[in-house]
Amino acid sequence: MSLAHTLSLIDTQARMSLKCEASRYFLGYLWWLLEPILYVVVFYLVFGVLLDSRGMEFIVFLMCGKLPFVWFSKTVVKASSSILDHAGLIGRMDLPKAMFPLMVAHEGLYKQVAVFALLVAVTLGAGYRPTLAWLWLVPLIAANYLMIVAISLAAAFVVPMFRDLVLLITLTMTLLLFVSGVFWDARALDPAVMELVFTLNPLAFFLDAYRQIMMYGLPPDVPHLLGLTVFFGTLLAIMFGLLHRYSRFLALRALTA
Amino acid sequence: MTMAERRLLLQLKDVSLSYQARRDHFAQGVHRVLDGVSMELYQGETLGIIGRNGCGKTTILRVIAGILAPQGGVVWRQPGKSCALLSLGLGFKPALSGRDNALLAAMLQGSSRREAESFLNDICDFSELGDSFDEPVKTYSAGMKSRLGFATALKTRVDILLVDEVLSVGDVSFRKKAQEAMESHVGGAQTVIFVSHAAPQVVRLCDRAVWLDNGRVAAEGDVSAVVDAYEQALRGTGRNTDATVKSPTLLA
């Protein structure tokens, strides 16, 4: 299977899967926007109305954290079981196993376009004005996607080997929700502690970078961003290699485990 | 032309495959599916593999197609030759229309998006689905699904075609049409491995046959001799062929 064909197949599969999902609900594709809008409404009710004190700024702060976090967690959780989910297909064709988590990630990317559009709209609506620093969103989102894809591939590789890991991955997402600075500001920490958090938890770095760019017009820590890109680029290459090398073993696990 | 003069396309030497089958918590048993299987396939021939349910027929096709790797032995395929299982309903998604599913299945079978789109009218005609072609597959009857699957599967273009119990689809009249289409596909230059538990199909379609029993080759060679031996063994053990047990859907 040529690379061009594989890519076009991944794209078609992802779009068909989105179509499939949309057809299940009466409001169909509208849910792409409705779901993140409902997040915002919930945040607004809880933090804007009930807790009153924090205002629109905190809502934008939360959205910059929560929406990219959901992108990451949903994609990785779904990708982790993607090879097992396609056992029927795997039993009939020798397909590259990386295709399955890539399909999930690609599907998530399509949806995330709508989510980021909403994030930008709310940020502008809250009175923030775009600056040149907003151009940093392009490499930031690209690096964030690279991280999501690399971790999705790793999750899809380990789960057929040891299925119980699905539960651990879900649990890890809950843990990450609390330690990645979705609800609190990493900048409020002692600078040394903040550096440590950003180094150990790339997700915390990304969420903070979205805020720095969109709320304060500040560029991200470029060497850190480059470092993460190299790290996840390497992880991605390793995972492609492992998924290729153990392709038939993964097929056996998917069919028999 | 003798076998030796024909071009060898595929060779299996002493192929074995087993996997861990879970019996209870923390207890694993080993399930041996293929045990020292050797066979050859020559260009242009139709080789039949016959055997009871659970004898390893589907697994051997998976090994040949490169889906599974044997733990022992060697699978040699002539370099550059493609090989695929003819599959009904490849990855069908019930919520999508027959058209979308056919497009996806044709792409999975190796066609480019443009080629796949050009097949759609043929597939619609052959499957006799009419307007239902644009309705979700979940609204189809089992027969309609098999017809769509068969029409799509016919678009597979490979050097070695692997066919698993494919002719038991749809109602009587469609089965006849499918059989004719299959036979014209199988005849001619196409190299085919045809797997079945039904002796008459194998006799009609195949040049040569292999009888697989409990993961081993019990007999191979001239198709009528192998089928006779297989049928005799079935009578001998007092078991019926599993035709009544095996469902018509493939590799599900």
pLDDT tens digits along B73-93: 999 988 888 787 876 666 678
pLDDT: which is higher, B32 or B176: B32
CA separation for the pair A78, A185 (Å, rounded): 28
In a domain, B135, yes or no: yes
Contacts of B133-138 with CB under 8 Å at 24 or more apart are: B133/B97, B133/B98, B133/B99, B133/B102, B134/B97, B134/B98, B134/B99, B135/B97, B135/B98, B136/A23, B136/B94, B136/B95, B136/B96, B136/B97, B137/B92, B137/B93, B137/B94, B137/B95, B137/B96, B137/B97, B137/B98, B137/B101, B138/B94, B138/B95
Q: Which residue among B67, B96, B100 sits closest to A93, beta carbon to beta carbon?
A: B67
What pLDDT was estimated at residue B205? 81
CA distance B5 to chain A (A): 31
Is residue B246's pLDDT more than 80?
Answer: no
Chain segment B125-172, per-residue pLDDT in tens = 988 889 999 999 989 887 888 788 888 887 777 788 888 765 555 566
Q: Would you call A93 and B96 a contact, using CB atoms and an 8 Å cutoff? A: no
In a domain, B24, yes or no: no
Alpha-carbon Rg for chain B, nearest whole angstrom, is: 19
In a domain, B203, yes or no: no
Q: Would you call A93 and B108 a contact, using CB atoms and an 8 Å cutoff? A: yes
In a domain, B125, yes or no: yes
Q: Which residues of A touch B252 (CB under 8 A)?
A: 88
In a domain, B246, yes or no: no
CA separation for the pair B190, B203 (Å, rounded): 18
Q: Which residues of B touch A89 (CB under 8 A)?
A: 90-91, 108
Block residue for tokens 């502008």: A124
User: If you count them, how many residues does chain B have?
Assistant: 252
CA separation for the pair B182, A104 (Å, rounded): 36
Spans of chain A below 50 pLDDT: none
Is residue B247's pLDDT more than 50?
Answer: no
Contact B127, B148 (CB under 8 A): yes
Is residue B240's pLDDT more than 60?
Answer: no
Residue type, B171: D
Contact B61, B85 (CB under 8 A): yes
Decide if B112 touches A, using CB distance below 8 A. yes
B residues 52-71 closer than 8 Å to A (CB):
62, 65-69
In a domain, B148, yes or no: yes
CA separation for the pair B15, B134 (Å, rounded): 45
Which residue in A59, A61, A52 sits closest to A186, CA to CA?
A61
Which residue in A182, A219, A214 sits closest to A71, CA to CA?
A182
Chain segment B109-130, per-residue pLDDT in tens = 888 889 889 989 988 998 888 9
Q: Would you call B68 and A252 a contact, using CB atoms and an 8 Å cutoff? A: yes
Q: Would you call A8 and B112 a contact, using CB atoms and an 8 Å cutoff? A: yes
Q: Which residues of A touch B103 (CB under 8 A)?
A: 12
Q: What is the count of structural domains for chain B? A: 1
Which of B82, B108, B164 would you mutate first to test chain A, the one with the most A CBs within 10 A?
Answer: B108
Q: Would you call A90 and B252 a contact, using CB atoms and an 8 Å cutoff? A: no
What pTM was computed for the model? Answer: 0.87
- E strand or H helix that includes residue A30: none
Q: Which residue among B84, B93, B136 sits closest to A16, beta carbon to beta carbon?
A: B93
Q: Which domain holds residue B96?
A: 87-157
Contact B83, B60 (CB under 8 A): no
CA separation for the pair B17, B46 (Å, rounded): 24
Is residue B181's pLDDT more than 90?
Answer: no
CA separation for the pair B89, A29 (Å, rounded): 26
**CA A200 vs CA A187, B149, B171, B204: distances in Å:** 15, 50, 62, 67
Q: Which residues of B touch A249 (CB under 8 A)?
A: 69
What pLDDT was estimated at residue B168? 57
Give B245's pLDDT tier (boundaries 50, 70, 90): very low
Average pLDDT over residues B208-231: 91
CA separation for the pair B87, B134 (Å, rounded): 21
Which residue in B163, B117, B115, B125 sits closest to B147, CA to CA?
B125
In a domain, B145, yes or no: yes
Decide if A161 touches B, using CB distance below 8 A. no
Is residue B5's pLDDT more than 80?
Answer: no
Is residue B249's pLDDT more than 90?
Answer: no
Which of B68, B111, B113 would you mutate first to test chain A, the one with the most A CBs within 10 A?
Answer: B68
The mean pLDDT of chain B is: 80
* φ and ψ of B174, to 5 deg: -70, -35
CA separation for the pair A110, A31 (Å, rounded): 13
Decide if B129 touches A, using CB distance below 8 A. no
In a domain, B144, yes or no: yes
